[in-house]
């Protein structure tokens, strides 16, 4: 079964008359921009995971909250599915549209509403770019910590939907750790506030539940994020190794030494060479692996930590350890890492970016496993890691024009995720499940757990209209995938059982 294109998802949906739907939208919202011509819809047929494409029925581009509210009420009344989209940089098919549904693009909600230096927070609309928040906070000596590699383009609404991380999430946390409050609309158009302006709020932690829910529970309309003071000093060490296993062990030894770096990243030789050719960051292209370790804080502490980490790296087998001589070199080191994905795109017609998380101690074992799978399937794999927290990004290189290569890329990707689960890890760390990893959800969770996920979905969206066919598999699908045996095979939420 093809992971990302499954005709049953659109086939299970009722037919929608696009002309009648457009007329209803025009009657209710005459000033709402609605795209319906083929040439206007095509640019929205995929997100960042672009190997699979579906042209949406309609694309709507609202600019005001009232427009979104009315649109959702209309779709709820008519049973029309809605897929929310931000900047379209997602990497799991989470914003892949439906041929029988509306694609709700929130990109025009792009205003920074407030930057409060005393309270150290910012209120922003969901279409605001991740990096723009830090740029707005910079005059106050503050910044927003989560920094995905796509931060120049990705939107904060998408970050909330996927619980995005970044190279500094080891010390400063994921999106969920840097939120105070989120305003949302349900499929019925009801406005809800999750969280509060305080550091904590009474009742169930619905803010944490919603973060990472991939547009399946509601539509983000406003986000209040925490801002942090910029560290006084930041230094980066670059360590090169003759084996990826030694580099993997070094990661665990740094943490075991009681040091929590601001960032701790790993790249293997294929990724090193691609990034160096693209960015000219100064990476040693003959190394089997490199580690980038950033230490930040006050000058005295950073100096001591750099010396301690350099000693740990040498003891772990690093053949060379370099300290960035100035801020310009530090930025070059990070530019190479943050551009690793596009750099790999220059050496292969296509690549398939995976996202799994494992215990740090299992890095050497999993790297060996990926190497064996690469040989078995005959496809090169470039490895890029948020190594400090075990979040892996294997990049599977293939050529979609060659018969069978896309299917082999999907197959090896699934095996890598199942390997992550086998060593006690997870099938995702920050990219989400979307359509890409829905089969592997069956490998990670049992039938009772998946039934509970459907119950949560049904509490917010009983008709299953928000981003259907993503994130949570049905028990029937899991039985077909072969990951679990289904007794009597029915979920208590028939509207959600279609996919």
- What is the pLDDT, as a whole number, of residue 49? 78
Give CA–CA dist 364/367, Å, rounded.
Answer: 5
In whole angstroms, give the CA distance from residue 439 to residue 205: 28
pLDDT exceeds cutoff 80 at 215:
yes
Domains 7-105 and 233-342 in one fold: no
- State the Cα–Cα distance between residues 12 and 83, nearest whole angstrom: 16
Q: What angle do CA 352, 357, 359 make, to 5 degrees?
A: 145
Q: How far is CA 292 from CA 28, 209, 262, 323, 431, in A?
A: 54, 32, 10, 10, 22
DSSP 312-367: HHHHTT-SEEEE-SSHHHHHHHHHHHHTHHHHHHTSSSEEEE--EE--GGGHHHHH
pLDDT digit string (tens) for 332-352?
999 999 999 999 999 999 999
Percent of the chain residues past pLDDT 90, beyond the cut? 85
- How far is it, in rounded angstroms, from Cα 192 to Cα 454? 21
Q: φ, ψ for residue 165 (rounded to 5)? A: -115, -120
Is residue 52 very low, low, confident or very high in pLDDT (cuts 50, 70, 90)?
A: confident
Domain 348-438 = CATH 3.40.50.300:
no
What does the pLDDT read at residue 494?
53
DSSP state of 397: E
Topology, domain 233-342: Alpha-Beta Plaits (3.30.70)
Contacts for 219 with CB less than 8 Å, ≥ 6 apart: 68, 72, 82, 84, 104, 106, 184, 185, 466
Distance CA 60, CA 101 (A): 11
Contacts of 159 (CB under 8 A, 6+ apart): 130, 146, 148, 175
Q: What are phi and psi of 87, to 5 degrees?
A: -85, -10
Name the token pair of 491. Answer: 């979920």
Q: Is the pLDDT of residue 482 over 60?
A: yes
> Domain limits of the chain?
7-105, 112-229, 233-342, 348-438, 445-496
Confidence of residue 2 (pLDDT cuts 50, 70, 90): very low
Q: What is the pLDDT of residue 315?
A: 96
DSSP symbol at 466: B
Q: Is the domain defined by 7-105 classed in CATH 3.40.50.970?
A: no
| Per-residue model confidence as pLDDT tens digits over 411-447 | 999 999 999 999 999 999 999 999 999 999 999 999 9
Q: Which residue is associated with the tokens 């920094």?
A: 147
Q: Residue for token digits 């960042």?
A: 48
Task: Give the mean pLDDT of 190-201.
Answer: 91
- What is 46-94 written as a DSSP string? --S-TTS----SEEEE--SHHHHHHHHHHHHHHT--EEEESSS--SSST
Whole-number pLDDT of residue 274: 97
- Residue 318 to residues 21, 208, 306, 334, 353: CA-CA distances in angstroms? 62, 39, 15, 19, 28
> Long-range pairs for 380-383 at CB < 8 Å and ≥24 separation?
380/270, 380/348, 381/270, 381/412, 382/268, 382/270, 382/271, 382/274, 382/340, 382/344, 382/351, 383/244, 383/266, 383/267, 383/268, 383/270, 383/271
pLDDT of residue 7: 56
**For 135-190, what is each residue's pLDDT tens digit?**
999 999 999 999 998 999 999 999 999 999 999 999 999 999 999 999 999 999 99
Q: Alpha-carbon distance 445 to 145, whole Å? A: 31
pLDDT of residue 4: 47
Using DSSP, state whether 203 is helix, strand or coil.
Answer: coil
Q: Report the pLDDT value the prediction gives residue 41, as an integer from 0 to 100.
A: 98
Cross-strand bridge partners of residue 34? 60
In whole angstroms, what is the distance from residue 465 CA to residue 80 CA? Answer: 7
Overall fold of domain 112-229: 3.30.465
């Amino acid at each position: 079964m093809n992971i990302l294109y499954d005709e049953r998802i659109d086939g299970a949906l009722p037919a929608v008359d696009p002309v009648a739907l457009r007329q209803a939208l025009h009657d209710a919202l005459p000033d709402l921009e609605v795209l319906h011509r083929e040439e206007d819809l095509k640019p929205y047929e995929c997100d960042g995971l672009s190997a699979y494409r579906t042209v949406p029925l309609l694309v709507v581009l609202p600019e005001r909250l009232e427009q979104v509210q009315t649109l959702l009420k209309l779709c709820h009344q008519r049973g029309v599915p809605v897929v929310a989209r931000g900047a379209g940089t997602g990497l799991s098919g989470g914003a892949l549209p439906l041929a029988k549904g509306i694609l709700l693009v929130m990109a025009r909600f792009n205003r920074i509403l407030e930057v409060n230096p005393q309270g150290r927070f910012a209120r922003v609309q969901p279409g605001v770019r991740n990096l723009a928040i830090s740029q707005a906070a910079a005059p106050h000596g503050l910044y927003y910590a989560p920094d995905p590699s796509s931060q120049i383009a990705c939107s904060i609404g998408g970050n909330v939907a996927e619980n995005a991380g970044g190279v500094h999430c080891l010390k400063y946390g994921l999106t969920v750790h840097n939120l105070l409050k989120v305003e949302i609309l349900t499929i019925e158009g009801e406005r809800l506030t999750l969280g509060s302006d305080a550091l904590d709020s009474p009742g169930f932690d619905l803010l944490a539940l919603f973060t990472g829910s991939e547009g399946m529970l509601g539509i983000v309309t406003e986000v209040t994020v925490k801002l942090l003071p910029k560290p006084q000093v930041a230094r980066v060490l670059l360590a090169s190794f003759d084996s990826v296993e030694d580099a993997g062990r070094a990661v665990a030894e740094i943490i075991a030494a009681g040091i929590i770096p601001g960032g701790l990243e790993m790249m293997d030789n294929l990724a090193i060479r691609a990034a160096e050719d693209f960015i000219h960051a100064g990476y040693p292209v003959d190394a089997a692996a490199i580690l980038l370790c950033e230490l930040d804080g006050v000058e005295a502490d950073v100096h001591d930590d750099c010396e301690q980490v350099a000693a740990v790296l040498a003891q772990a087998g690093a053949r060379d350890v370099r300290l960035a001589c100035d801020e310009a070199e530090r930025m070059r080191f990070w530019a190479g890492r943050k551009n690793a994905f596009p750099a790999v795109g220059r050496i292969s017609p296509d690549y398939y970016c995976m996202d799994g998380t494992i215990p740090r101690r299992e890095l050497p074992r999993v790297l060996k496993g990926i190497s064996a799978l690469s040989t078995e399937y005959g496809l090169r794999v470039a490895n890029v890691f948020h190594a400090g927290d075990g979040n892996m990004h294997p990049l599977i290189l293939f050529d979609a024009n060659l018969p069978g290569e896309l299917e082999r890329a999907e197959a090896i990707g699934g095996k890598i995720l199942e390997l992550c689960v086998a060593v006690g890890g997870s099938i995702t760390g920050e990219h989400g499940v979307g359509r890409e990893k829905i089969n592997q959800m069956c490998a990670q969770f049992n039938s009772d757990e998946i039934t509970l996920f459907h119950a949560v979905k049904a509490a917010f969206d009983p008709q299953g209209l928000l981003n259907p066919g993503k994130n949570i598999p049905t028990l029937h699908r899991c039985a077909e995938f072969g990951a679990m045996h289904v007794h009597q095979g029915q979920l208590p939420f028939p509207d959600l059982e279609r996919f």
